[in-house]
Structure 1
Amino acid sequence: MSAARHEESQAELDLIGSLRQQYEAKGFSFEVAPNRQDVPEFLGSYVPDAIARRGDEYVAIEVKKSRSRASELTLQQIRSRFEGQPNWKFAVAYVAEDPLKTLTIKSATVPAIRRQVDEVRTLAEQSHHRAAFLLAWSLLESTLLHIEAEQEARPRTPGSVLQALAMLGRIEPETERRLRPLILVRNAVVHGDLAVEPTAADVSLLVSAIEEALSDA
């Protein structure tokens, strides 16, 4: 799968995850990619991307990457199948345009990065591990941008940052291996999962990786 297609697939999965949270918060059950045999006969060959159910109320959900004349015609045909079905609704959700595609990040100097690393340490010492953790991740990306000697660049995913630093020989394979599990922690924190709390050791590992990457700078 190409990187672009992977990003599209991930965006669709993220949207479905968000829809699940919204519907479940309203008391619906939520089934992703339902089996064909679980879809009512009036839908014919159409299988929605997800079905939400609350009692006798059903919502068939279709996820689309973007709007187009062709897709709108197809959706009209699908909507027609729900006519005369009072217990069923048809909902279409579109994947929002990713603002990161138009965002550029400017390169930072090594002294500027090191000053921010000192701030990470201060935050960690004050037990502000969540803030320190997120700042450290951003500095790891700033470090890569500096190493690549680019004046500005598109934002990277955490995984691609680690991979690039390892491929450039700026962090050891073992460092990359130890950092990989922290991507899940980072994503949970960024997206508001308050049940996930980075530890002092997590912050320390990120700081060590930054220092390792900057050791030849």
Structure 2
Amino acid sequence: MSNTTKLAHDKKVASLADDYLQQGFTVMKEPTTDSIPFDLGGYQPDLIVTKGDTRLIIEVKTKASRVSVDKFQSLAQEISKHEGWRFLLVTLEDAESSKTPTSINELPTWPQLESKLLQVQTLIAEGLVEPATLYLWSIFEAALRKRAIAQSIPIERLPAPTLIKHMYSQGEISVNDVDTFLEFMSSRNRLAHGANEAIDPHQISSTLKLVSLYLSEWSIQNPD
């Protein structure tokens, strides 16, 4: 790790520690293996933060593109075997920790997400395609992050494009659908940033059907 990279890494760790302290967590920086009450084969995280029944083991990486999901998924699965404990992977590209869910309970339930889809259908029926596009994407992104947590795939904090690609590589999104979601996200992003984006009604309708199918499948496999 270069000096510049290490500086960025350490700055992110310090920022995370401050965020969690402000939220009332007990924070342990650079914990030793003895600080973890179960064996992780000598693994040492960057942070351990705890508050009540929430106990997070946090690893900080500088580049989302360099993350080995398989390696960290095995670690996340082992940690999740212990009640109240969860692994959290953070990169420099992540959103602010204070605005990112730290547990699956902070995300909408599957029934709530399905109810929100009905609202998207209403917006489309009323010709309100732009707000329908923005709302549909927020629903799908929440579902992606919820599914990642449920499956112990520690990528729920990654930027949306990287999140989609990793979920595809983990077999959570089919090869036939990943391009549809990426194209829809691109349209949504241009719209969200003020572009005069013409939304194709067929695109939003087909994306809505896909999101509905994934929500249905994931809710059955990982019920709230």
TM normalised by structure 1 equals 0.48
TM normalised by structure 2 equals 0.46
Higher Rg of the two aligned structures:
1
